[in-house]
Amino acid sequence: MTAHTDAAPQTARSRQTVQAVAVIVIATAIKLAVLAALDRPWGCGCGQVWAMPGDPTLNSRTLLDPYTALHAVTGALLIMMVARVRPDLGLWALLAVVVASSTTWEVIENLPISIRLFAYDASDPLAYHGDSRVNALADTAAAVTGAMLSRTASPMVVIVLAVVTEIALSLWIQDGFIIAAIRAVRQAA
């Protein structure tokens, strides 16, 4: 009788893991399909892995850019909050939440209406014109990496790193969550 009692939670946990992995795979497929439908390129075609702020044409086209840090912070904060609200979720389920959230953001961020909302001039060749598929995948990988790293850090460390990252990027590239939100509110008004 004890074997059945012990097996039930294990079976539920296994089912949760399978469902979480399915969500991760489906979310990734949806992201790639939407970006393909939006005619986003696979990469920059420049041979670079990292885009520096001095060359904004490569931002969101290379594998990594300054915004990668924001995605890592978002993943760290998200998993920390979800784990607090839903302590019953296993690691894979938490990661599925991060991947699904990142996918939702990447899809919304790349819609033409969103690009206009953030006041990027479509005729400006240096303006943001959407993410490459490789960059969008790397952004999600950064969110997952941030989420995993936050599992071993105290909430205070995660919060301090989030604030420091926001301030550093705001000063370095004159962009970040707060600056983008202000720009979007001004554009919508």
Q: Please give the pLDDT value at position 124.
A: 64
Q: Using one digit for the tens of pLDDT, what is the confidence trace for 10-67?
A: 787 889 999 999 999 999 999 999 999 999 999 998 889 998 776 777 888 999 999 9
DSSP-based three-state secondary structure for 179: helix
**H or E element, residue 55:** none
Q: Please give the pLDDT value at position 55.
A: 74
Q: Is the pLDDT of residue 77 over 70?
A: yes
Half-sphere exposure of 53 (CA within 13 A, CB side): 12
CA distance 115 to 179: 15
Burial of 113 (0-12, 13-18, 19+ CB in 10 A): exposed
Q: Is the pLDDT of residue 125 over 60?
A: no
Q: Please give the pLDDT value at position 51.
A: 87
Tell me if the pTM is above 0.85.
yes
Residue of 182 and 128 predicted with greater confidence: 182
* Of 115-129, 137-151, 170-184, minimum mean pLDDT range: 115-129
Q: Is the pLDDT of residue 6 over 90?
A: no
The mean pLDDT value of the chain amounts to 89
Q: Please give the pLDDT value at position 49.
A: 92
Q: Please give the pLDDT value at position 108.
A: 94
